[in-house]
A = this chain, B = another copy of it.
Amino acid sequence: MSQFKLHDVRLFCVPNCFFAVVLFSAGALAAAQEQSGSAKAVSKGETNDQPNMEIRKVGFVVHGGAGTIERSEMTPEREREYRAGLEHALTAGYEILKRAGSSLDATEAAVRVLEDDPHFNAGKGSVFTNVGTNEMDAAIMDGKALRAGAVASLKHIKNPVSLARLVMERSGHVMMDGEGAEAFAKENGIQLLTDQKYFFTKQRWEALQKVKSAEKSGGGAGGKKYIITDQDRHGTVGAVALDQNGNLAAATSTGGTTNKRAGRVGDSPVIGSGTYANNATCAVSATGDGEYFIRATVAHEVSALMEYRGMSLKEAAQSVLDKVAKLGGSGGLIAIDRQGNIALPFNTSGMYRGYVDPNGKFVVEIYK
C-alpha cells in the first residue's frame, strides 16, 4: 500500500521541492539535537519564508494493537500487509507534520488510514460483538487547549475518529454515543452507512465463531478446544504526534473486543484512560484489555507521573503498564512528549507499531 521504502522517507519528499530543503535541514538538526539533548532545533535557512521562525522537531508514533502476535503464526505475506498498513498511516500523519500541519490533523489522518485498513480492529476491520454487530469507539485530544472529543458505540460511521473530532469542534460536548452521536454526524454532513455490511471481514467473523465455540465448550469438558489469542479478541489503533508548534495530540479508534456485549465501551473513548494529550507532559494512545486500562486511568496516569513525580516519558509509560499488569491486564501504549521523546512499551508478545525516528526514518515493528 505504501509507495516508498522503510528508512527512506526523505526520498518521498523530493517532489515537494519547497519543503525538501527545509525538511532535510530539519531532519539533520533533529538528529544533532537528539545527541545534544536540546529540546528545540532552530533553523534560519533561506528556504524558510519566515526567516526567524523556529523549525522545531516533530515526532510521530502509531500503533495497530497489542496482543499475542507469534512469528510462527504469521505468513510473510500477512506480515508485509501489516507493515504496509502501518507505513501508510505513518506517512499520512508525518507528511502533515512536515508541512507544519497540526498534531491533531496528523493523528486524525493516520488513524483514518488504519480505520480504512481491514487488517486493524477499527473502522473497516472492526471485530464483532456477541450479537454479531460492529460497535466502534474513538477519541481525539488536543494537548494545547486540553480539548477533547470522544464517541462510543457507533454502528454506521466509517471513520469514528473524524466524528470524535467533529464532536470536539462543533457539538459543545466532549463525548457522544450511539444514535445520538450518529444523528449529530448526519446533521454535520457525515454520511451514515445504511447497514453494517461495510464492516464485514471474514477474519473477524471467524474469530467471533471461535470465541463463541470456546465459550460454549466451557472449560473444554467434552468440547472442542480452541486457542483464543489476544489477536482474536481485541486490538485498537492510535497515533500520537508532536508538531512544529510544539503541540501534542493523541487519537485512538477501535472496534473493541471480539464477543463483547453489545453496548460495551472500552478505554479508547475514555479521556484519561485510552486517550490523553497535554502539552505540559505528553500524548498517549493505549491498546489492550480496555477494562484494566480504564481502572488504571492509564493515559492520564502517565501524564501525572511525569508532571508530579518528575519521571521521564519512558519511566512513566513503563510504570503505568506495570500497574495494569498488576491488576491483571495486558496491552501496550504509545506516547510522545514535548521534546519528541517517544515510548512504546507493551507487555504482550507483540504490538503493531511504527514511528518516525529523529532522522526522519520510518521504523515499523511488530514483535518484541
Taking CB atoms, residues of chain B closer than 8 Å to A304 are 300-301, 304, 308
Contact B297 A271 (CB under 8 A): yes
Q: Does A273 contact B (CB under 8 A)?
A: yes
Q: Is A367 in the interface zone, CB < 8 Å from B? A: no
A272 contact set on B, CB distance < 8 A: 270, 272-273, 294, 297, 300
Q: Within A269-291, which residues are at the interface with B (CB < 8 Å)?
A: 270-273, 276, 290-291
Task: Categorize the interface residue count of chain A.
Answer: 35 or more
A153-B174 in contact given A146-B296, A146-B327, A300-B301 (Cβ < 8 Å): no
Which applies to chain A's interface (DSSP): helix, strand, loop or mixed? mixed
CB of A209 closer than 8 Å to a CB of B: no
The residues of B that contact A132 with a CB separation of less than 8 Å are none
The smallest beta-carbon distance between A1 and chain B, in angstroms, is: 34
The stretch of A13-21, A109-117, A257-265, A350-358 that contacts the partner chain: A257-265
Closest to A298 in B: B272
Shortest Cβ distance from residue A299 to the other chain B in the assembled complex, whole angstroms = 9
Q: Is the CB of A174 within 8 A of B290?
A: yes
User: A262 contacts B179, CB within 8 Å?
Assistant: yes
Tell me whether A295 and B271 are in contact (CB under 8 A). Answer: yes
Instruction: Give the interface of A toward B (CB within 8 A).
Output: 129, 135, 146-148, 150, 152-153, 171-184, 260-266, 270-273, 276, 290-291, 294-297, 300-301, 304-305, 307-309, 327
B153 touches A291 (CB 8 A): no
B175→A177 contact, CB < 8 A: no
- Beyond A271-B273, A300-B304, A304-B308, whether A148 also contacts B295 by CB under 8 A is yes
B180 near A291 (CB under 8 angstroms)? no
Given contacts A297-B300, A304-B304, contact A261 B146 (CB under 8 A): no
Give the CA-CA distance A273 to B184 in the complex, in Å.
Answer: 24
B residues in contact with A146, CB < 8 Å: 295-296, 327
Complex CA gap A270/B275 in Å reads 12
Q: Which of B150, B181, B262, B295 contacts A180 (CB 8 A)?
A: B262
Given A276-B297, A327-B146, A173 and B271 contact (CB-CB distance below 8 Å) = no
Residues of B within 8 A of A174 (CB): 290-291, 294-295
Q: In the complex, are the beta carbons of A178 and B263 less than 8 A apart?
A: yes
A295 to B271, CA, bound (A): 7
Complex CA distance for A309 and B309, rounded to whole angstroms: 7
B291:A173 contact, CB within 8 angstroms? yes
Q: How far is the CA of A309 from the CA of B305 in the complex (A)?
A: 10
29 contacts between A and B (CB under 8 A): A146-B327, A148-B294, A148-B295, A152-B177, A153-B177, A153-B178, A171-B261, A173-B260, A173-B261, A174-B291, A175-B266, A175-B294, A176-B261, A176-B264, A176-B265, A179-B262, A180-B264, A182-B263, A184-B261, A184-B263, A270-B271, A271-B294, A271-B295, A272-B272, A297-B300, A300-B300, A304-B304, A305-B308, A307-B308
